[in-house]
A = this chain, B = another copy of it.
Amino acid sequence: MSKMVDQQTFDRLLTEFKQRVDQALEHWLPVDTLNPVSLHQAMRYSVLGSGKRVRPALVYATASTLGLPLEKVDGIAAAIEIIHAYSLIHDDLPAMDDDDLRRGKPTCHKQFDEATAILAGDALQALAFYILTHDPEMTSDASRRLEMIEKLALFSGSRGMAGGQAIDLASVGKEINITELETMHIHKTGALIRTCIQMAALTSNSISDVKFEALDCYAKKIGLSFQVQDDILDVTGDTETLGKPQGSDAGLDKPTFPAIMGLQPAREKALELHHQALKAIDCFGEEADILRSISNWFVQRSH
Q: Are B118 and A93 in contact (CB under 8 A)?
A: yes
In the bound complex, CA of A30 to CA of B157 (Å): 11
Count of chain copies = 2
Given contacts A39-B162, A158-B30, contact A129 B153 (CB under 8 A): yes
CB under 8 Å from chain B, chain A span 25-49: 30, 34-36, 38-40, 43
In the bound complex, CA of A170 to CA of B162 (Å): 28
Q: Are B123 and A122 in contact (CB under 8 A)?
A: no
In the bound complex, CA of A303 to CA of B75 (Å): 45
In the complex, chain B residues whose CB is within 8 Å of the CB of A123: 157-158, 162-163
> Which of A143-151, A233-241, A265-273 forms contacts with chain B?
A143-151
In the complex, chain B residues whose CB is within 8 Å of the CB of A150: 130, 133-134
Q: Which residue of B lies closest to A183 (CB)?
A: B35
CB under 8 Å from chain B, chain A span 158-199: 158-160, 162-163, 165-167, 169-170, 183
Which 7 residue pairs spanning A and B have beta carbons closest together?
A126-B157, A95-B114, A142-B142, A130-B153, A123-B158, A133-B150, A39-B166
Chain A residues with a Cβ under 8 A of chain B: 30, 34-36, 38-40, 43, 86-87, 90, 93, 95-96, 109, 113-116, 118-119, 121-123, 125-127, 129-130, 133-134, 142-143, 145-147, 149-150, 152-154, 156-160, 162-163, 165-167, 169-170, 183
